[in-house]
Structure 1
């Protein structure tokens, strides 16, 4: 039986060389699947192209080892890609800008913001503050991925690969906070309220 998920703080995670060796560089324990990112990136980018969301500036917050960079370059070859990462180790290794999803600022908003696997490492208050900051940073679309408490409860998570030190927030907390600045599109995609993109009623997750 799996332990009951909790909202109590997990031990502080050091995003150092050992962490990334365990979860990204060691093929036996890596959670990074380049083929998965290829499929996911093709879906995200193709859907935005279908919706005619102009993508000229892309921000990846918590960009890790940069799995999204090449995918974005293939689908949006004329777009600039900016990686922001909290880990000092990764910034030194890959040249990312050091920053936090909580308070990162930019001179102008981005057309596509990516935030994958970051928010579950924040407590509820910080996760909500981070989502509101993502809304400030985005004028087009947001792709957000976060494992929720329901995912743990329903055994959707491979616990041999997933970092169990993450917080386990309810999906409703994410949806409710994101809805302040975005329209839910499904598949982890959210469209900024500032985006001038017309949508049919069944193209977004509206009220039943």
Structure 2
């Protein structure tokens, strides 16, 4: 990966964006609501979840949520930051080229893709689709989010790329169907969907 330097994601970075209440961007209550929504939606859609990959897992905020909703599922955290891998025991890897022996029923990729330039982003989106045999939850701030003042510039990392939403959708639609709320389903997954449950083309 050529977009981001490993030196960015050191102890000081996580102190600022995760642990300091004044400058942090992680709201535990928000994460809990989001996780409950995603997992409940997958239960509604009858997506079987046994293997979970948290790609760019950070401090592991999704681990407890997954354990609550899918107690029999295995959770695997992969992180680019050497500091976090040493601290939490995650596997070191990048969303751009991470490989696994078999794909996952749920892939979580939150606040990771915006650190990639356009070339790496395209590789990452293709890789995510390959790793997902069930559902994907993806969160990435787009150019449109900045233009509509959805993102707080004072809190956001200034190194983030502002890619248009269409760039993300083009990459993900190669093998996934958008079903709303940041949730995508693999086209390899055999679950019935109503037409109006699909936010994009099937």
Under TM normalisation by the shorter chain, which class is it?
A: over 0.9
Counterpart of 1:142 (choices 133, 136, 139) is 136
2:6, 2:82 within 8 Å by CA — same for their partners in 1?
A: no
Deviations 1:64-114 (A, max 9, x none): 000000001000000000000000000000000000001111111000000
Distance in 2, matches of 1:13 and 1:154, equals 31
Q: Is the 8 A contact 1:120 1:168 kept in 2?
A: yes
In structure 2, C-alpha distance between the alignment counterparts of 1:131 and 1:202, rounded to whole Å:
24
List aligned pairs for 1:1-208, cutoff 5 A: 14-206=8-200
TM-score, normalised to structure 1's length?
A: 0.93
3-state SS of 1:202 partner: helix
Regions of 4+ moved over 4 Å: 9-13
SS of equivalent to 1:191: strand
Q: Distance in 2 between matches of 1:130 and 1:10?
A: 13
**Structure 1: runs of 5+ lacking an equivalent:** 1-8
How far off its partner does 1:206 sit?
3.5
Q: Is the 8 A contact 1:135 1:181 kept in 2?
A: yes
In 1, are the aligned partners of 2:179 and 2:200 still within 8 Å (CA)?
no
- Report Cα offsets for 1:140-189 as digits up to 9, x if no partner: 00000000011111111011211121010000000111111100011100
**Is the CA contact (8 Å cut-off) linking 1:10 and 1:166 kept in structure 2?**
no
TM-score with structure 2 setting the length: 0.95
Rate the CA distance shift 1:13–1:181 in 2: closer, same or farther, 3 A: farther
Task: Say which SS state the counterpart of residue 184 (structure 2) adopts.
Answer: strand
Cα 1:68/1:11, change in 2 over 3 Å? closer
Q: C-alpha root-mean-square deviation of aligned residues, in Å?
A: 1.4
Report how many residues are paired. 199
